[in-house]
Structure 1
Amino acid sequence: MPKFSNNQFTSDPSKGTTSSSSSKDGVKCQNCGFTHTGECRKNSGACFRCGKMGHHIAQCLFPDPRNGPAGGTTPNKPKENKPNARVYAITQEEANNSNDVVAGTILINNIPAYVLFDCGATHSFLSKRFAKKLGAKPDNLAEPYRVATPANRILETHTLYRDISVLIDNQSFKADLIQLNMVEFDVILGMDWLAKNHAIVDCHGKTVTIQIPHQEKLLFHGKTKE
């Protein structure tokens, strides 16, 4: 009669769980080479850390749900102040050194604003100075946004302006803008706004094209601030 080890098992190779070694953290997956539990995320293209689509582990800002405490939480454990938002350029110098931005002047709530279209920013932001011009009432958040900056600083803010008008090519779009202490830009429109509005940023041509399905293309021509 053949003998089987308790450490050996076989399952569907397409799920990446076939292995000859195991531990309390899961099993070593022959599909991706890492130790994990559940279905292998390499097959779906999901982030290896959080399991969400649309980014990879190097850009992930979310915790791994598989690393949560089992059977209750640890008492008196200090809360981690990890960033939940990221901005890549908040000064003109940083923008000039980036290959993922286009800048120019557009109307924000019908007020001329110097705006940065930033593919590297996870969210959209406005300066504290420009916020005073909006005439809009912000939301005061119970949990702050913790924003990682290019200088490896973490800035906290509790202030969010919702449904602010962004006018491009005579058409208005809505944006949720997080208030942030910055000087050289009035507004930064990040990936949340760009993805929602099907925007394509052409850094070489200094243009932003908005291609909404079944509608005519809208085009913004950016330029460098003098």
Structure 2
Amino acid sequence: MAEKEKFQSVRPSNTANRGSPSRNTGNRASSKGVMKDTAVRFEARAPARAYRVCAREEATSPDVITVALIDPRSTHSYVCVKFVATKSLPVEFSEFVIRVSNPLGKHVLVDRFCKNCLLMIRCHYFPADLMLLPFDEFNVILGMDWLTLHDAVVN
């Protein structure tokens, strides 16, 4: 009997955290003394999605970005430092410093950007403010700032 009282005093009340998902795990005794599995509910999160864009025919042209990433989870858009150096793009200092991390857990502090870089997609030009990023997996990463500005739909 002592174990049952102890179990009941640990169990959260139904009125606490109303609207919040239950975080209890494991088994608990029902009124008939039979063990039942309790349901575990967690907030649903959208899966991470990123889209890679590669140019085929234009890859030999020196002025064409051949690898770009569209990343709706990124708040800013980026350009590879090596790409900026090879194209001699003008660079400005930002008013703020942001910490950027990649999926492998590495992070850098970024405080420089290329303002109003023109990106051509299917014969249309789109301006972009691109933060300089030392990671070189992609020439350009287009984040939510660019996607929102241009009313882009990613599906």
Does TM, normalized by the shorter one, top 0.5? yes
Name the counterpart of 2:55: 105
Whole-Å Cα distance in 2 between the matches of residues 186 and 100 of structure 1? 15
Whole-Å Cα distance in 1 between the matches of residues 95 and 148 of structure 2? 27
Instruction: Specify whether residues 170 and 152 from structure 1 end up closer, same or farther in structure 2 by C-alpha distance, changes over 3 A only.
Output: same
Normalising to structure 1: TM-score of the pair?
Answer: 0.42
Normalising to structure 2: TM-score of the pair?
Answer: 0.60
CA contact (8 A) 1:126 1:180 kept: yes
Rg comparison, structure with higher value? 2
Amino acid in the other structure paired with 1:100:
A
CA contact (8 A) 2:49 2:73 kept: no
Name the counterpart of 1:162: 115
Percent same amino acid at aligned positions?
26
The yes-or-no answer on 1:173 pairing with 2:126 is: yes
Query: Which shows bigger deviation, 147-156 or 166-175?
Result: 147-156
Whole-Å Cα distance in 2 between the matches of residues 191 and 142 of structure 1? 19
- Name the structure where helix makes up a greater proportion of residues: 2
The yes-or-no answer on 1:152 pairing with 2:105 is: yes
Whole-Å Cα distance in 2 between the matches of residues 99 and 154 of structure 1? 20
Q: Which runs of 5+ in 2 are unaligned?
A: 1-16, 21-43
Whole-Å Cα distance in 2 between the matches of residues 201 and 112 of structure 1? 22
After TM superposition, give the deviation of residue 161 of structure 1 in Å: 0.8
The residue matched to 1:129 in structure 2 has which SS? helix
Whole-Å Cα distance in 2 between the matches of residues 128 and 200 of structure 1? 27
Amino acid in the other structure paired with 1:112:
V
CA contact (8 A) 2:77 2:142 kept: yes
In angstroms, what is the RMSD of aligned CA positions?
3.2
Q: Which string of whole-angstrom CA distances, capped at 9 and with x for unpartnered residues, describes residues 139-175 of structure 1?
A: 1235322112212232102211110001011110000
Q: Which runs of 5+ in 1 are unaligned?
A: 1-29, 34-57, 60-97, 203-226
User: In the comparison of the two structures, how many residue pairs are matched?
Assistant: 112
The yes-or-no answer on 1:116 pairing with 2:66 is: no
Hey, which bits of structure 1, 4+ residues long, moved more than 3 A?
Answer: 30-33
